[in-house]
Amino acid sequence: MTFNFDEVIERRSSGAMKWNLYDADVLPLWVADTDFRVPEPILRALHDRIDHGIFGYQFNDPALREVITRRTAARYNWTITPDEICFVPNLVAALNFVCLAYAEPGDEVLVQTPVYPPFIAAPTNGGRILKTADLALIHEGQTIRYEIDFDAFENAITPRTRMLILCSPHNPIGRAWTRPELERIAEICLRHNLVIISDEIHCDLLLDGQQHIPIASLSPEIAARTVTMMSPSKTFNLPTLGFAFLAISNEELRKKFEKVTAWYLPHPGAIGFAAAHAAYTQCDDWLNALLPYLAANRDYLVQYVAEHLPNINITRPEATYLAWLDFRALGLDKSPFDYLLEKARVALNDGAAFGKAGEGFVRLNYGTPRATLTEALDRIRAALQTAQV
């Protein structure tokens, strides 16, 4: 079966935030949803569910629990049990609740910057204290790459630090952490008695045929202190359908999460359950076609920057459809986000939102048809040429 990821689909009329936040002449490559149509089996499952015509309380989906455990075993060689799964409507809310569940007011929560903005907001939203450890930026010509600065990481931990929120694979820098890196992170967390919140929402988007490694799969000892977060929403482009899940094997940690969320956090809706079931059982061929399309877009983007955008450095993401570009060498008199919005009429994400380490950077979402990506890059190139920066 072939899939047409080149199809340009009009999205403004659907109410999509990505396409409506800015003026109509702005090309949006910012928020992390893709411009690809959802796989047919998911659409069929949604039609079937709608056609049933009754949407009473559901709360649970025992069959989906089984589906998820089979999938995590097959895909990541990671054994979880159906009862350790907690269904949630989305992961950003869960990020906020885990800070309440596993840290007291005045306790510290560690994140590795630059990082997805809700990681930075969640600890302080609930009156906990944010601690940051910058990742180490490495230049390889015009390509940049981040590694974990383990000294900075361990030095940021104090006796009040209770948790690490890990982004794996990491948004925005596109790293899929290697087994040795994950082992070292886990060893430090073990030594300092930290709970590991591992946001693995991008786990199905490893671009070069690598297998995702859930940190909880490293050992039972690590699993016992880890809360893993996953969702079909990035992979299959379903963020607005309201389905995600956590896997928490440690009963005490699971009960704490259930206690802080009870009455506050809604269950997924019937539509979300139906979509997740189809995504996890019938869409492997679609995903197998998506990944090379994304990898080709990534390669095209990196090549384009090398050929046409001098002095801009860029990551070569190992995972995700998000690239991270360093504009600092251009010496712009405003943030690259503002500059590109104004002069190129292209909306990216402002790197400053990803922590201080992101100032002077932008995040670009290449989960879009090649024609849209090309148009955006041509606009950026023309704007920079006109300004002769």
Give the shortest CB-310-to-ligand PLP separation in angstroms: 30
Nearer to ligand PLP, 121 or 330 (CB): 121
CA–CA distances in Å: residue 346 to residues 27, 222, 242, 303, 306: 5, 43, 28, 19, 19
Nearer to ligand PLP, 118 or 389 (CB): 118
Give the shortest CB-98-to-ligand PLP separation in angstroms: 12
Nearer to ligand PLP, 134 or 309 (CB): 134
CA–CA distances in Å: residue 143 to residues 43, 46, 56, 139, 337: 39, 42, 52, 6, 20
Query: Measured between alpha carbons, how far is 389 from 385 in angstroms, rounded to an integer?
Result: 7
Nearer to ligand PLP, 35 or 309 (CB): 35
What is the binding site for ligand PLP (CB under 6 A)? 32, 90-92, 116, 167, 171, 199, 201, 231, 233, 239, 244
Give the shortest CB-244-to-ligand PLP separation in angstroms: 5
Residue 88 structure tokens:
């949630």
Query: Measured between alpha carbons, how far is 39 from 55 in angstroms, rounded to an integer?
Result: 23
Segment holding 150, helix H or strand E: helix 150-155
Give the shortest CB-202-to-ligand PLP separation in angstroms: 6
SS3 content of the chain, % helix, strand, coil (to 5): 45, 15, 35
Nearer to ligand PLP, 286 or 354 (CB): 354
Burial class (CB in 10 A: 0-12, 13-18, 19+), 120: buried
Nearer to ligand PLP, 125 or 142 (CB): 125
DSSP 100-137: HHH--TT-EEEEEES--HHHHHHHHHTT-EEEEEEPEE
Nearer to ligand PLP, 272 or 343 (CB): 272
Give the shortest CB-237-to-ligand PLP separation in angstroms: 11
Give the shortest CB-381-to-ligand PLP separation in angstroms: 27
Give the shortest CB-245-to-ligand PLP separation in angstroms: 10
Burial class (CB in 10 A: 0-12, 13-18, 19+), 13: exposed
Give the shortest CB-47-to-ligand PLP separation in angstroms: 23
Q: Any idea what the Cα angle at residue 375 is, between residues 358 and 117, rounded to 5°?
A: 25
Q: Nearest to residue 252, comparing CAs of 227, 231, 228, 219? A: 227
Nearer to ligand PLP, 199 or 326 (CB): 199
